[in-house]
A and B are shown apart, each in its own frame.
Chain A
Amino acid sequence: MTSQGLSGIRKLSSLKARTIGLAVLISGVFLILISHLFYLQVIRGMEFKLYATEVARRVIPIPAQRGEIFDRNYDLPLVVNKDSFAVDLIPGEVPKEEIHEIFKKLSKVLRLSVEEIEKRVPPKYYHLYQPIEVKGGIHYETIAYLAEHLEEYKGVSWHNKPIRSYLGTGSLAHVIGYVGDITREEIQVLYNLGYGFGSVLGKSGIEKQYDQLLRGEDGKRYRIVDVREKLLKQKQVKDIPPKPGNILVLTIDRRIQLLCEKALGQRIGSAVVLKPSTGEILALVSYPYFDLNLFFTDKASEKFRELSLDPSFPFINRAIQSVYPPASTFKIVMSTALVEEEVFPITREVFCKGKIEYGDRTFYCWQRKTGHGYMDLYSGLAQSCDVYFYTLGDELGVERISSYAREFGLGRVTGIDLPGEASGFVPTPEWKENIHHMKWLGGDTLNLSIGQGFLTVSPIQMANLVAMAVNNGRVYRPHLLKEVRDSATGELITAVTPELMHTSFIRRDTFKTLQEAMRGVITEGTAKVVITTKAVEIAGKTGTSEVGLEDRWHSWFVAYAPYHTNNPEERVVVAVMIEAENEWEWWAPKAANVIFQGLFAHQSYEEAVETMKPWWYIQQLRNQSETPVQGSESGRLNR
């Protein structure tokens, strides 16, 4: 070889310099890279290690057992949890071309449409290794079938998901309420309280009101997952076990509840039994009610829709959510106002000729043909004479009537521990002018005096009103929760103490007079023929309100017993309200009669009825089996 190949740079002394330059450049860049690697791995190493564990760690909640619910006797539970299963699908384990085959098969086994399944497992989840719940409330037999045919059901698995089971709760449906899966909207509100997707949430009644106490605290299971959410077997962080929810003991007495339920029978309406000395509710019935267990059957959504569209609105708890004109029961408030305000002496006799002329209008007494004759407060309340109360109302004036109505707790919620209580309404002249743009007339005052017109109240408010009269002005918050107990040991955690809501300015003597007058209603007044029980002395007030429709009356009876007692603790208030459609359904006092008999003679409905054997009972039996008999003696005219 010649030196021909060495013609270029070789001859220049700069070659060495350039080679060294290049070597320095390369080494320098490498040094920078090695330094940065040191920075990433050693200086920031811990930070990245933490992040690496975090991205791969998943916290899977272990659902807590929901608390059981008992009645005040705390012997047999009303609500328990029943073993049930939810079927999951891990889409990542199903080959893509088979996934629709699996959907079809699952649809048959789970009795769920393919569309429903596709909605729960959309295509964007197909690559995931995360179990997706397809359907809950699956019976053991179905799971057994799936287990036997597992090789045909790729990616299908299941987990234990207990459901609520309601044991003979009957008319307690409204009180207890139901649970359901949390909705998107509910999560937005409740997220900070520890709820998440898949949480079960109380939707109504006690289940909703005390959800925080019942739900317990979900446990946590730590798992390591890969990028497609597939669970990996790894040495695990210890699971945090779930804390089961608390046992709730209600103030409800199952026996009394059943008594009221049967006394009410198949009449649309409600009954409330409460202890005025504490505010404890012993029974709360609203008819029609519904079967809570329906929500855990295959046809849950169908049934739910059906019940929602039922014209008798079975989901409404009529005892607290429906308001009606109080009719003659409002005369209790009127009487109190009279005595307290001393508008005129209670002995003053007002003459009732069956009607009263007021301006250009005529207001009739219910006894419009003959009239009641001369009436004082006692006879006026006992006979429920409208003319007497028209006169009283005219003298009292609307302002005082409204303020006494408010003093008795009308127009605002009682604060019962159930969601969705209605407040009713107490009208005032300002209200009428603002809303109806009409002047409040004297006739409006007369209507208000007999509990008609714009005034509306709920049965629980009426029960509370009587409780105030019985307690000489002291009102306790009506409540359903008696105790909170630990679900593992049964140990008492909290006992609910009576909460005094209001102490009235009304004098003791006034209440005494009122109580005497209410006793007169039973002994010689409108309820004399109906209240036949010998078990206890009752005081109360009847009421029949016109709804405006010819064939609609609302039948009220509010009462308490015993009238004489040395132990106010044993007193109970009963309020019955029936949306009557015909005269023989004028049933409220009769139902109360049976309730008081059963309550104080410690009898069941059947025994109570058997004991009293009243003439109307036989007639009632005839009415139920045959055609309704019109115009019984205790008919509509009886207020």
Chain B
Amino acid sequence: MRRATLFGFDFLLLGASLLLTVIGVLFIYSSGITSTGVQYSTEYIKQIVWAGTGLILMAVVILINYTRLRGLSVYLYGFSILLLIITALFGREVHGARSWLGFREVGIQPSEFAKIITILFLGSYLSGIGRGIRELPRFLLGFGIVLLPMGLILLQPDMGTALVYIPIFLVMTFMAGARLMHIFFIAAAGFLIVVFSTLPAFAKWILVGRINFLGLVTDLDFLKYYILALLLMTLLSAWGTFGFKRRYFYWIHYFSLLLLVSTVGALLAARVLKDYQIMRLIIFLDPRLDPQGAGWNIIQSMTAVGSGGFWGKGFLQGTQSHYRFLPQQSTDFIFSILAEEWGYVGGVLIFFLFLVIMIRGMRIAYTARDDYALYIGSGIVGMIFFHVVVNIGMAMGIMPITGIPLFFLSYGGSSLWTALIGIGLLLNIYMRRYRH
């Protein structure tokens, strides 16, 4: 069976994706209807159109041999960076972030598509250097590939979408065999940047002076000396590590550098992010602090999810959603309306379908014909995984409000297209898994 066949289709993956898309349309319909049965939103029709066009796009993606994308990816990457720059400068502002590009009704979010393109380009880079990924400079160069679009998206500012690039990079380099030490560094730095940049607000609103030494990392006057000390420690331990080749210095160097990068990164992030955005990141820790403002979404979402119970209230029977207590039902909180109406059973179904996509995606990557396919397959899986965890976590009140859509389910063309293109790529790899 060493033949490429267009019929060697992964129907399980395609089926799970289509089922999720259909469920998405159903609940976008439900979110647009009032309790009296008045349909006031036509979003579900638009979503059907997005799904239809998305499927066509998917078919096109399937038809192009992915190996040809390897050469193209550098141009695609360049183009998408250009689009992101234009967006950051001239984009339309929605919900405080300049993330839309387009005219009047029609618009796209370049940051969504940039994810796929970055995966393609990073995959091409990783497969080009092979084992070289274990060397720090090449690892860092690879990180630079994701850092560029990430930084541009952070300028919009859209922290949620920017953050997605980190797990994409981590999963791809992990599968490429990068040193765990390096991967951990990036993961830890990403996590610490988020923590440190929200720390002043956290101390002010949630702890309210319970821990005094937080001033060490929040007080700007003190920070100067703190950073200076870290810098000194990093340099000295670097000298120790490379001059004396002692393992002992290596770890000091590793962690002081990690702290230095995180602190400086947090300082920069705090410059870019506005107060209300930081508030949205931490309010999930105690939504009752601002029940009418930032906490409202979380309280209403948790109420919707929780009141759904085991069996749910029935399709179109939700109260939190249809009485309009639940905000942004069709986009950010689509999972909440589903969990309210279909209950725990529905929620588990969604997890199951996503798990099918993840596992099939990983299997496709594992059995792929070449490294390039392995890397882009892993990247897509990582991307979908991060979206699912962060979005559903937010709906359940255990993750910050980041405004990351739930792939397949959330209303929105850019996000649905990205998901379907991703699935198209996976199917593409699967069909061409046999080497000739």
Contacts and interface: CB of A to CB of B under 8 A. Distances in A.
B343 interface: yes
A5 B378 contact: no
A26 B344 contact: no
A307 to B, nearest CB: 45
Contacts of B309: 41-42, 45, 49
A40 B397 CA distance: 10
Given A41-B305, A56-B325, A226-B325, A5 B175 contact: no
Nearest to A43: B306
A55 B133 CA distance: 55
A104 interface: no
Contact of A22 (B174, B310, B371): B174
B36 A52 contact: no
Interface stretch (B90-98, B247-255, B273-281, B362-370): B362-370
Interface stretch (B53-61, B224-232, B347-355): B347-355
A49 B317 CA distance: 13
Contact of A45 (B34, B176, B307, B369): B307
A19 B303 contact: no
A191 B37 CA distance: 39
Contacts of A52: 303-304, 307, 319-320
B385 A26 contact: yes
Interface in A32-56: 33-34, 36-38, 40-42, 44-45, 47-49, 51-53, 55-56
A119 interface: no
Contacts of A8: 126-127, 129-131, 133, 176-177, 371
A18 interface: yes
Interface in A334-361: none
B307 A51 contact: yes
B131 A226 contact: no
Interface stretch (A9-17, A365-373, A423-431, A497-505): A9-17
B307 A49 contact: yes
Contact of A226 (B177, B324, B348): B324
Nearest to B354: A30
Which residue, of B130, B176, B325, has the highest number of chain A Cβ atoms within 10 A?
Answer: B130
A160 interface: no
B282 to A, nearest CB: 19
21 contacts: A5-B67, A8-B133, A8-B176, A15-B366, A19-B175, A22-B381, A23-B358, A23-B359, A29-B385, A34-B351, A37-B305, A40-B397, A41-B339, A42-B309, A45-B309, A48-B305, A49-B306, A49-B307, A226-B325, A227-B324, A233-B36
Interface string A415-426: 000000000000
Interface of B: 34-36, 67, 126-127, 129-131, 133, 171, 174-177, 302-310, 319-320, 322-325, 339, 343-344, 347-348, 351, 354-355, 358-359, 362, 365-366, 369-374, 378, 381, 385, 389, 392-393, 396-398, 435-436
A536 interface: no
Given A34-B347, A52-B320, 14 more contacts: A6-B371, A7-B131, A9-B374, A22-B174, A26-B358, A37-B305, A41-B308, A41-B310, A42-B309, A45-B306, A45-B308, A56-B323, A226-B324, A232-B323
Contacts of B325: 55-56, 226-227
B343 A41 contact: yes
A18 B174 CA distance: 7
- In order of increasing CB-CB distance, the 7 nearest A-B pairs are A48-B306, A5-B370, A226-B323, A52-B307, A9-B177, A8-B130, A7-B130
Nearest to B176: A9
A189 interface: no
Contacts of B372: 5
B133 A37 contact: no
A37 B366 contact: no
A149 to B, nearest CB: 26
A233 B322 CA distance: 13
A7 B128 CA distance: 9
A182 interface: no
Contacts of B355: 26-27, 30
A200 interface: no
A44 B369 contact: no
A529 interface: no
Nearest to A34: B351
A12 B176 CA distance: 10
A7 B319 contact: no
Contacts of A34: 347-348, 351
Nearest to B389: A29
B371 A10 contact: yes
A51 B309 CA distance: 13
A316 interface: no
Contacts of A303: none
Contacts, number: 153
Contact of A41 (B126, B344, B362, B393): B344
Contacts of B348: 34, 37
Nearest to A45: B309
A110 B343 CA distance: 51
A40 B131 contact: no
B134 to A, nearest CB: 10
Interface string A49-77: 10111011000000000000000000000
B336 to A, nearest CB: 11
A573 interface: no
Contacts of A435: none
A6 B67 CA distance: 13
Contact of B307 (A16, A26, A30, A48): A48
Nearest to A228: B324
A68 B358 CA distance: 76
A506 interface: no
A423 B354 CA distance: 84
Nearest to B129: A8
A113 to B, nearest CB: 33
A30 B175 contact: no
Nearest to A234: B35
A224 interface: yes
Contacts of A15: 175, 177, 366, 374
A1 interface: yes
A232 B322 CA distance: 10
A609 interface: no
B369 A33 contact: no
Contact of B177 (A12, A27, A36, A49): A12
A225 interface: yes
A23 B436 CA distance: 29
B389 A22 contact: no
B174 A42 contact: no
B396 A40 contact: yes
B369 A30 contact: no
B323 A225 contact: yes
A5 B127 contact: yes
Question: Quick one: which of A16, A226, A228 has the most chain B CB within 10 A?
Answer: A226
Contacts of A224: 319, 323
Contacts of B303: 48, 51-52, 55
Nearest to A47: B306
Contacts of A44: 306
A227 B327 CA distance: 10
A47 B309 CA distance: 10
